[in-house]
Structure 1
Amino acid sequence: MERFGTLSFGRYGPLGAGRQLTAGDSMLQAIDLAQGMDELGVNGSYFRVHHFARQQSSPMPLLAAIAAKTERIEVGTGVIDMRYENPLYLAEEAASVDLLSGGRLALGVSRGSPETVVRGYEAFGYTASDDPRGADIAREHFELFLRAIDGEGLAERDTSSPFGGGTGMQRIEPHSPGLRSRVWWGAGNRDTAEWAGRAGVNLMSSTLLTSADGRPFDILQAEQIDAFRAAWRDTGHTGNPRVSVSRSIIPITTAEEAMYFGGRQDGDQIGVIDGMRSTFGKTYAAEPDVLVEQLRDDAALQSADTLMITIPSQLGVEFNLRIVESFARYVAPALGWAPTTSGA
């Protein structure tokens, strides 16, 4: 494990006892938490993206704000739902954040997870899907997005324009060299992982897999990662792609953490998502020395280079920063991690 960071839903809403966490509170707390993690040398601050829900839906302003307030930490998404995106506008936004951050963007995209509404992407104007889940729209948008960030000319220059002459096709601006190497595809099964390998982008392996054959989640996920890397090599891509996995991990070091999460450790769960039997990863909640042994036995975590820890967003900055600090101090070094001191 070379890197770790946090994966947040960015939830907001009622907290109980008459308290309310607003959307503004949620975003400002995310900035504060990222600043604290940057000081600790933690590698990344990543956000889930959900539309028509009280969570993060438009992450680019938040990522830009975090980048402006930090020096080293990677800022990213896990994942942006490409069914909802104008691929050229996303290319402009992604390049802007990547340039502002000095190349610290980790842009995770995919078809997205099940929604809170019915075919919500159609409300955004994307109505041409023949797939009941909109996967065809997501792939088409992603392919155009990659062409755009690669600098391909996509619109013909107007030779009579007062804003610049010339002929030929114009690329999207701004253009951020190297952004392609910082794009990830979120995959929930083996087939999409292999597709990502062939496309030449990094892999964000989901918190679930649409597979349930009785084997443990980490074994299924490790096989998915192996298939992704094999597809990358077989297609002829050079270099080593990055791979991330996400886990719910709570180091228990205080009575408060024991009150909230003691006894919460459970095994893998089997459920149905998008009509498919799926395996969901377990929660790790224990004292640090116990966590070290358990995580050393997690086959997928050992195969990946980046770990994203899902955090309980509604418990606030201080609580979450304590969880992250405990993991960084007592658990992560035993898994091969060292804090970032320079660069992203």
Structure 2
Amino acid sequence: MIYLDYQATTPLAPEAVAAMTPWIADRFTNPHSPSRWGREADAAIAIARRHVERAIGAGGGKLAFTSGATEALNWAIKGTFERSPRRKLVTIATEHAAVLDTAEWLAGQGVEVIRLPVGRDGLVDLAQAEAAIDDNTALVAAMLVNNEIGVIQPIAELARLAKANGALMLCDAVQGLGRVAIPPGPDLIAVSAHKIHGPKGVGALWMRDGCEPTPLLHGGGQEQGLRSGTLSPALCVGFGAAAKLATERREADAQHIENLWTAARNAFGPDWQLNGSADARYHGNLNLRRDGLDAARLLSDCRDIAFSLGSACASGSGRPSHVLRALGLSDRQARSSIRLGFGRYTSEAELVTACEHLRASADAQARFAA
């Protein structure tokens, strides 16, 4: 199997496995216990927290571990509206379901929700954003790197518009952490371990001082007095190890990605069109379409390659990607698109082999359809 689904999840880094192992086997204690073992586990989590904070690079504030980015995003959005008298949320039509579904829930509670459109390049129009963000806006929520097409939104500019109107800015940095610099400006930043070669089941919410959302979970306030529940030392330590490695390897990983991107584009050739901007984009995400392609059939024909047709979170819906539809693509064009994700542990040789296999299978489809 050639793994090209890095946006869905990434391979666990050996360094993260090594860091986690003692906390899975022998050091099983509760980190909130006052015992010596408990204090040792708490200290290990504190070190992991600092590694994640450094990877985010926001400075100051506080970081709370969560069960994942979905919880972090729900907490940030719902908790902000719990604490604010303002009743308007501004977000983007191409956001992850964790944001859009939470926005839909808020709309049912009487909150005005504005979903800004994007252009063919997948980027939001800042003039439209400026017109939508006003003195009734409590929160502006935007994804740094889109999980389906890799487009990088102008987060710093959106944060500036939010601040000019007294609103908070939430950045979904799940696909950006460790890959691209997180711009200054956001008041809340959601991240996830398993997108940066860490374990599944742990994420975090960074909060600027004074911008902490009202708790979503109640029960003990173990995490920063804001999030209740017993933390897993193993998961937190694994996240910390992955974040530390991502910080140390950022330049090397970025250069490797650029080499892979060039090799993949050359392997596919001119018959495949890029979905979304080629410039304002993270190059570890290659979303392509080919006219007449049955992408679902291609997925079935190439079972020795792990790739996807869009977000893993919506893969069972049967609906065309809402992100691709937001670009102005037809249902047919959306269903003729595939997403390849690659990174640190992808070799150029295996990537080219996979691309050539996908291209050959698509060519065979076209011949039989003719």
TM-score > 0.5, shorter chain as reference: no
Report which of the two has the higher share of strand: 1
With normalisation by structure 1, the TM-score equals 0.27
